[in-house]
């Protein structure tokens, strides 16, 4: 394969540890992962932490935990190690300076001594100021100053940054794997800082040097990085030769549900859905942003709907396992235009994956939700059985609680108001008889009966008392679970058994009698 090393593709996910991982970030790593695995290659996780001002403690661990939850295990990372480490850019600091120096020596970069105050001053004076060929001469740098002045400033230890010297009146062209040919007018790009005053590289220098040193063959990243591509292309050309540059794809944005504008954390808050992969607590504000995991998504569903955001295999198929995605993924089938995020559709994917997941696995995934709801499960097999009864109704793992809490404890609220308008003596008599029958079963030591028998007996009693079964089922359901929800009423009685069922019916009858 073109651009590969020894035939092996090497892709990287290069997040900056600045906070929770947004849907867009996870989709980026997913597409890199799918492509790498499709071609039998490797995925590298590189932490881009050169901007110390944006560094957030805990963010790196969060990224690793998220990848772990998603089942995307990098071959090389700060955690897994590898032959091209270290995998945190801050630990590679010393390595970038010689490249910046070499750019200066070749005349592709220059020292700039302007203080932050001087820059601020200039920005105030010149609207839309850009540090570029237009203003370089007016600033304090190794292009505008004499050689002597420059060497004195350097000798005196004057702080400086190194900037790229963008060429003038040139067009830069490259081939994006999704967008095809992309052209840039370099006159619109400023002389980006490559090395900062603290000796740290900026993203632009570090990303190019590391993609080279880590032998990256393909790099897929968010569309927001497209404007930086001309700077990176030039750095590749100047430092390593353009042939060595990875093949790039810039992934389209994930759009707001309305279809316009990038989906943001605020949209999630506004519309009540998660935007981060997992819960993220900001270490400064202590504010927690809810994640898909804690909201009750299965990783299989999360991966599946993310893959579909902007990609399809050309068929109508929507449900894909990760193995299928690996075998079918093709970066060239990713759409150029943004993909609208639809939370209802995401929940549909989750429901489909809940249906496909075996009940025992669901039982262990449900533990945190059961704990949060204070539901104690005495018998694991009972939980597995209940899951089987309600799973089809659940879009989220958290729905299990609303759909099944009454299997574990009597409802605290009974919607008597719905029963009362149609309540009459005949119904009262029917339920009194039902309680009597159940009590007799209990007295005989019979805890429960098969679902079908329960249903037949119920119908027989209704017929004997000349009442329509249909009119009895809703009150019965409300007495058992509290409201108009839950699986089949006879399934519920069979599971909670005569003792609980009878107690609940008796309690509801008592409430009715006081109204
Ligand atoms: N560090 C960049 C980010 O935080 C990575 C961009 C790239 O993949 O080149 O998204």
Q: How far apart are CA 376 and CA 361, in angstroms?
A: 18
Query: Ligand 1: does its nearest atom lie under 6 Å from the Cβ of 203?
Result: yes
Beta 288-289 vs 280-281: how paired, if at all? Answer: antiparallel
Give me ligand 1 centre to Cα 206, in Å.
Answer: 10
Q: CA 220 → CA 144, 230, 329, distances in Å? A: 38, 16, 13
Instruction: Report yes or no: 208 and 235 within 8 Å, Cβ to Cβ.
Output: yes
Interhelix angle 23-38/59-70, rounded to 10 degrees, is 50
Q: How far is CA 315 from CA 15, 312, 318, 320, in A?
A: 32, 7, 8, 12
Nearest atom in ligand 1 to the alpha carbon of residue 14 is 5
Asked whether 225 lines ligand 1 (CB < 6 A), one says: yes
pTM (2 d.p.): 0.93
221 touches ligand 1 (CB under 6 Å):
yes
Residue pair 240/205 in contact (Cβ under 8 Å)? The answer is: no
Strands (DSSP E) contained in 23-158 are: 42-45, 109-112
- The pLDDT value recorded for residue 53 is 85
- Gap from CA of 112 to ligand 1 centroid (Å): 25
CA of 48 to the centre of ligand 1 (A): 7
13 close to ligand 1 (CB < 6 Angstrom):
no
Ligand 1 atom closest to the CA of 220, numbered from 1: 8
Residue ranges in the chain whose pLDDT is less than 50 = 1-3, 5
For tokens 């081939």, the residue is 175
Surface-to-core class of residue 127, CB atoms within 10 Å of its CB (0-12 exposed, 13-18 middle, 19+ buried): exposed
Q: Is 16 in the pocket of ligand 1 (CB under 6 A)?
A: yes
Say how many Å lie between the CA of residue 14 and the centre of ligand 1.
5
Q: Could you report the per-residue pLDDT of 196-214, keeping only the tens digit for each? A: 999 999 999 999 999 999 9
- Report which ligand 1 atom has the smallest distance to the Cα of 48: 1
Q: Among 14, 232, 235, name the best residue to mutate to test ligand 1's pocket (greatest count of ligand atoms within 8 A of Cβ).
A: 14
**Which segments within 310-466 are labelled E, that is strand?**
339-340
Angle between the 469-481 and 425-443 helix axes, to the nearest 10 degrees?
Answer: 60
Report the distance separating Cα 246 and Cα 9, nearest Å.
Answer: 10
The answer to whether the beta carbons of residues 13 and 29 sit under 8 Å apart is: yes
Give pLDDT, residue 515: 80
Burial tier of 13 (Cβ tally within 10 Å: 0-12, 13-18, 19+): buried
- Confidence (pLDDT) at 296: 97
Backbone angle region of 128, left / alpha / beta, with phi > 0 → left and psi within -120 to 50 → alpha: left
Any atom of ligand 1 within 6 Å of the Cβ of 208:
no
> Catalytic residue numbers?
265
Task: Round to whole Å and give the CA distance between 360 and 476.
Answer: 30
């Amino acid at each position: 394969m073109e651009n590969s090393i020894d035939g092996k593709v090497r892709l990287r996910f290069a997040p900056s540890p600045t906070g929770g991982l947004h849907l867009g970030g996870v989709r980026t790593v997913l597409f890199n992962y799918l492509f790498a695995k499709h071609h039998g290659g490797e995925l590298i996780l590189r932490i881009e932490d050169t901007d110390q001002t944006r560094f957030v403690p805990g963010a790196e661990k969060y990224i690793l935990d998220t990848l772990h939850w998603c089942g995307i295990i990098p071959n090389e990372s700060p955690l897994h190690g590898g032959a091209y480490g270290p995998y945190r850019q801050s630990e590679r600091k010393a390595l970038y300076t010689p490249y910046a120096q070499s750019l200066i020596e070749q005349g592709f970069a220059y020292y700039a001594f302007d203080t932050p105050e001087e820059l601020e001053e200039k920005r105030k004076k010149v609207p839309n100021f850009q540090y570029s060929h237009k203003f370089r001469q007016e600033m304090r740098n190794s292009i505008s100053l004499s050689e002597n002045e420059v060497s004195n400033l350097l000798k005196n230890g004057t702080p400086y940054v190194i900037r790229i010297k963008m060429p003038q009146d040139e067009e830069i062209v490259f081939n994006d794997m999704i967008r095809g040919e992309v052209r840039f007018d370099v006159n619109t790009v400023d002389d980006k800082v490559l090395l900062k005053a603290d000796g740290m590289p900026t993203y632009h220098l570090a990303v190019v040097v590391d993609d080279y040193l880590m032998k990256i063959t393909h790099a897929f990243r968010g569309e927001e990085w497209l404007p930086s591509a001309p700077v990176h292309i030039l750095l590749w050309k100047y430092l390593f030769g353009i042939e060595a540059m990875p093949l790039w794809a810039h992934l389209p944005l994930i759009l707001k549900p309305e279809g316009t504008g990038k989906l943001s954390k605020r949209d999630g808050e506004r519309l009540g859905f998660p935007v981060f992969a997992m819960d993220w607590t900001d270490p400064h504000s202590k504010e927690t942003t809810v994640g898909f995991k804690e909201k009750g998504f299965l990783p299989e569903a999360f991966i599946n709907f993310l893959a579909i955001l902007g990609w399809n295999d050309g068929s109508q198929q929507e449900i894909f396992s990760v193995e299928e995605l690996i075998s079918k993924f093709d970066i060239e089938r990713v759409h150029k235009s943004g993909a609208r995020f639809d939370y209802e559709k995401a929940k549909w994917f989750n429901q489909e994956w809940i249906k496909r997941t075996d009940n025992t696995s669901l039982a262990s995934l449900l533990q945190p939700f059961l704990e949060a709801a204070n539901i104690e499960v005495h018998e694991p097999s009972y939980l597995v059985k209940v899951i089987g009864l309600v799973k089809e109704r659940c879009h989220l793992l958290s729905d299990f609680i609303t759909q099944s809490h009454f299997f574990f404890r009597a409802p605290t609220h009974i919607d008597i108001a719905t029963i009362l308008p149609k309540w009459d003596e005949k119904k009262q008599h029917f339920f009194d008889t039902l309680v009597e029958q159940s009590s007799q079963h209990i007295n005989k030591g019979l805890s429960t009966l098969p679902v079908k028998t329960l249903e037949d007996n119920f119908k027989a009693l209704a017929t004997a008392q000349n009442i329509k079964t249909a009119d009895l089922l809703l009150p019965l359901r409300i007495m058992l679970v509290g409201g108009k929800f839950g699986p089949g009423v006879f399934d519920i009685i069979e599971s909670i058994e005569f003792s609980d069922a009878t107690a609940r019916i008796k309690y509801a009858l008592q409430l009715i009698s006081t109204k």
